[in-house]
Structure 1
Amino acid sequence: MQRIEHTRGHLTIEGKSIAIGRIADVASNLWAERSQILDVDGGVFHTMHSNAVMSFDVLVTLIARLQQDAASAARV
Structure 2
Amino acid sequence: MMETIKKWWRCCRRWPAHLKLKIMRYVVMNLFLAVLNYATSPHCWWVGWVALGWGLSLSMEIISWYYTDKEEK
TM-score by length of 1: 0.38
Greater fraction of residues in strand: 1
With a CA cutoff of 8 Å and minimum separation of 6, indicate the structure with the bigger relative contact order: 2
